[in-house]
Amino acid sequence: MEALEAAAKAAEEAAAAMVSLAGEELEAFASPATVLENVEKINAVVTTKAAKVRDALKEQQTAVAELKAQTGGTAEAKKQFAIISQKLNECISKASKANNTVKAKCASLVKAKLDPAAEGIRKHAQKKKLSPEELFKSLKSGDKIPEKAFCKLLASLEGLSLTLEHGKLICQKLEADGISKATFIKYVVIYYKVVKAIVFTDALDLTKCKTVRRGDVGEIIEVLEGPVRDEANDMTRVRGSSTVDGKVTEGWVTVSGSKGTAFLEKTVVNKKE
């Protein structure tokens, strides 16, 4: 029981660095992934020790209950069992609360960074003149991108302040033990289907662009950049690529207009290897 109480206290102490953080302070915290890893390990220790305490407690409760003569001694034993049981539950609750709090903090960090990181990877691939598949091949070891390599990629993305610790959280969110090709492509590559005829343009700004061609209903567009919010024109736009009759078109397309009209909707495309 003493070891269990010490472990529960250690869980609270390990989580303390993040418990009160929010907003910019949470964003600036240097080691969220490390704290999460430590708290999860300690919580696992608490779970193991709590099971041993529970088994021992049950054994002693059974022994007392089987005694034919119930005395003041057995009454005191039952009283102590109740105290131990309460402490047991308190330890489990403390460790669980610490674990859940840190997990929630890390989840909020990841949620805010997932989409910007995916867009950053797309831009990186474009700059390197690599397709997402080619980028995956350049990073993989065996059949997966190792966590270390994926984190290094995220930390190198221009315009984003992603640390190696943030990278670990994103990697763990996507897939444990490295990133497979299927997971990488699903994360990085976004496809839209044209649901209302719309044009491809050569620039983001509608007031300074030229029409490339018309996009027809049912056409599939692979996103190369964005989505980007065009505040001046009150709409969301993406730069995408589409192939029709063997001809590839790249340009900016409106996802949704200023009046809420949807021109594109996300879709899933299953490509053969």
**pLDDT tens across 219-243, in order?**
999 998 888 888 888 889 999 999 8
2-112 and 191-267: identical CATH topology: no
Ranges under pLDDT 50 in the chain: 273
pLDDT for residue 273: 44
Q: Of 141, 144, 166, 147, whose CA–CA distance to 155 is shortest?
A: 166
pLDDT for residue 271: 60
Is the entire prediction scored with pTM above 0.75? yes
Options 1.20.58, 1.10.3470, 1.20.1250, 1.10.760; CATH for 2-112 is: 1.20.58
Q: What CATH number has the domain spanning 191-267?
A: 2.30.30
pLDDT for residue 206: 84
Q: Of 177, 180, 172, 145, whose CA–CA distance to 37 is shortest?
A: 172
Q: What are the residues facing 225 on neighbouring strands?
A: 239
Give the start-to-end residue ranges of the domains of the chain.
2-112, 117-188, 191-267
Tell me which long-range contacts 56-60 makes (C-beta under 8 A, separation of at least 24): 57/81, 57/84, 57/85, 57/88
